[in-house]
Amino acid sequence: AAVKSYQFNIQVKNVSRLCHSKPIVTVNGLFPGPTIYVREGDRVLINVTNHAQYNMSIHWHGLKQFRNGWADGPAYITQCPVQTGQSYTYDFNVTGQRGTLWWHAHIFWLRATVYGAIVIMPKQGTPYPFPQPDFEFNLLLGEWWNNDVEEVVKQGNKLGLPPKMSDAHTINGKPGPLFPCSEKHTYSMEVEKGKTYLLRIINAALNDELFFAIAGHNMTVVEIDAVYTKPFTTEAILIAPGQTTNVLIRANNMPSRYFMAARPFMDAPISIDNKTATAILQYKGVPNTLLPRLPKLPALNDSAFTLSYNAKLRSLNSLQFPANVPLKVDRRLFYTIGLGMDPCSTCQNGTQLVASLNNITFVMPKTGLLQAHYFNLKGVFTTDFPDRPPTPFNYTGAPLTANLQTSQSTRPRLSKIAFNSTVELVLQDTNLLSVESHPFHLHGYNFFVVGTGIGNFDPKKDPSNYNLIDPPESNTVGVPTGGWTAIRFRADNPGVWFMHCHLELHTGWGLKTAFVVEDGPGPNQSILPPPKDLPPC
């Protein structure tokens, strides 16, 4: 194992897209940011120095950070932000994981421009469990606003309504030629006839679950969220914000130019956002003037495609990479996902949209929850969540008003989990306002997605249909609109771990919570001591 060091300078840079130029926050002046290349077993040191007039904090999305929440990054959960002029070194080991993950700012909406790929190579001499690709590329899907993103958010908060939608979707930071002034802002990937390519696809968009396809080329899915899957071939993939998907493609079509395209999936009869980002797959030796053709993407609201796509996702569950699904459950949790209106004294209309779990809107603390837990600081948070069942209502057909009840707590309310206990969490969507699934992300863990369905979760019937053999293992899962998803994990990583909807809009509205996983009795079962340079609050 090696030590890999990176320097991340947070700096503002002018970038132009869609005929507009604006200053954006970047890492080292790059957009998207630099790729972290490591090998399974490496120690990684990333020094973040903040030269911008924004507070900063960076999350290594999907890395388990065993006993080491200090390096996890969500602001006010595991650390206070790195202030202007300050530095912090994220120091962590990459153990038991290989594949594609990513990093992003985890404070306000700054991840709109502060994000990049993490590539974890398998241990030396360990091949992939699929045909060796000849080459590989990273494809980061994102969103672009012409206005300053923090201003857009402020505007939304003032109205108590969703802020202005993004102006473009992007592939590797570029919208592609379907957008104005974007001819030269088009990502192009050159391939050679007959070769095999591994594409590491990351959804870094803030608010959109996306379809992605390549004209004239099928994709074979081999990995999601840095976990190998049973390979299957598909014309299009579905990828939620936060998720990563590795696919293999063969450059076996007629040498030409082909569009790759990404467009949202919105599970509602109304078409809201159909902006299509494109990039080009170009065969070697083909003239740049050839007009590429577009791939066929599923329709905006094609929930039949998404259901069948998700059903194909299975853990590889081989001898070498077994799926250790907890079969016995020590702790059962049931959280409802809701959207509602709350009174708001600073908002123009006196009300604002809020989101909740079990009718509770999470309030952010002013000090890091992990510090509060580790140093036993009283009065920062409580561990009484959830202390009562959710307000009863009809999950699927009730009049809207019955489903809108939320209340704000005065302090963050967390759930306390005993070390090494097995947890089953059922997430039940109840809001009828939303048009897309909620991509729930858990920090510090992977979980198994043992079941999902449309309508009300039935505790008597649904568990008998769980997949406990080869369910997909991931760190982010889409909870379908008007449906439910059941996940299981073993709480073997002590710390304070954030869980939230990876739609930035919903996180901002309070669709989040955290788990306190207690220390175990053994010598390597407790939280490591905090690093000396941990940013103070």
| Closest approach of ligand C2O to the CB of residue 363, in Å | 17
Q: Please, what is the minimum distance in Å from the beta carbon of residue 345 to ligand C2O?
A: 29
Q: Please give the Cα distance from 55 to 200 (Å, whole number).
A: 30
Q: Does residue 104 bind ligand C2O (CB under 6 A)?
A: yes
Shortest distance (Å) from residue 508 CB to ligand C2O: 12
Element housing 21 (H / E): strand 20-27
Among 498, 505, 509, 513, binds ligand C2O (CB under 6 A): 498
With beta carbons less than 8 A apart as the criterion, state whether 225 and 62 touch.
yes
Give me the least distance between CB of 262 and ligand C2O, in Å please: 18
Nearer to ligand C2O, 78 or 166 (CB): 78
Q: Which of 17, 64, 98, 106 binds ligand C2O (CB under 6 A)?
A: 106
Closer CB to ligand C2O, residue 98 or residue 443?
A: 443
Applying CB under 6 A, what is the total number of residues that bind ligand C2O? 11
Cβ proximity to ligand C2O, 211 vs 498, nearer residue: 498
Amino acid at 477: V
Mark residues 448-487: x for contact with ligand C2O by CB under 6 A, - for none: ----------------------------------------
Q: What is the DSSP letter of 384?
A: B
Helix (H, G, I), strand (E, B) or coil at 177: coil
Question: Is residue 74 near ligand C2O by the rule CB under 6 A?
Answer: yes
Residues 1-30 within binding reach of ligand C2O (CB under 6 A): none
Q: Are 203 and 243 in contact (CB under 8 A)?
A: yes
How many CA atoms lie less than 13 Å away from 371 in the CB half-sphere? 19
64 binds ligand C2O (CB under 6 A): no
Strand (E) or helix (H) holding 369 = helix 369-374
Stretch that binds ligand C2O, among 145-153, 166-174, 380-388, 495-503 (CB under 6 A): 495-503
Q: What six digits make up the tokens of 83?
A: 């202030």
| 3 state DSSP class of 157 | helix
- How remote is the C-alpha of 29 from its chain's centroid? 23
Judge whether 424 and 486 are in contact, CB under 8 Å: yes
Phi then psi dihedrals of residue 14, to 5 deg: -85, 130
Query: 400-459: which residues touch ligand C2O (CB under 6 A)?
Result: 441, 443
**Per-residue contact string for residues 226-265; x = within reach of ligand C2O by CB under 6 A:** ----------------x-----------------------
Task: With CA atoms as reference, report the closest residue to 226 among 476, 516, 486.
Answer: 476
Closest approach, Cβ 28 to ligand C2O, in A, equals 20
Largest CA-CA distance found in the chain, in angstroms, rounded: 67
Alpha-carbon gap, residue 485 to 355, rounded angstroms = 18
Q: Which residue is nearest to ligand C2O (CB)?
A: 61
Q: Which 8-state DSSP code applies to residue 132?
A: P
Beta-carbon neighbour count of residue 373 at 10 Å?
A: 25
- Please name which of 187, 158, 159 lies closest in space to residue 171, comparing C-alpha atoms: 187
Q: How many angstroms separate the CA atoms of 171 and 260, rounded? A: 9
Binding of ligand C2O by 200 (CB under 6 A): no
Helix/strand/coil for 190? strand
- 425, 393 contact by CB (below 8 A): no
Closest approach of Cβ 200 to ligand C2O, in Å? 16
| Residue 500 in the binding site for ligand C2O (CB under 6 A) | yes
- Is the CB of 106 or the CB of 263 nearer to ligand C2O? 106
Stretch of residues binding ligand C2O (CB under 6 A), selected from 303-311, 420-428, 455-463, 494-502: 494-502
Q: Hey, what amino acid is at 134?
A: D
Shortest distance, position 517 Cβ to ligand C2O, whole Å: 16
Q: Which two tokens stand for residue 104?
A: 């992003």
Which of residues 246 and 276 has its CB atom nearest to ligand C2O in the complex? 246
* Region of 342-350, 363-371, 461-469, 496-504 interacting with ligand C2O (CB under 6 A): 496-504
Q: How far is the CB of 2 from ligand C2O (least distance, A)?
A: 26
Q: Where are the alpha helices (DSSP H) in 87-210?
A: 149-159
Residue of 17, 61, 98, 438 that binds ligand C2O (CB under 6 A):
61
Instruction: Output the smallest distance, CB 362 to ligand C2O, in A.
Output: 13
Q: Does 98 bind ligand C2O (CB under 6 A)?
A: no
Binding site for ligand C2O (CB under 6 A): 59, 61, 74, 104, 106, 242, 441, 443, 498, 500, 502
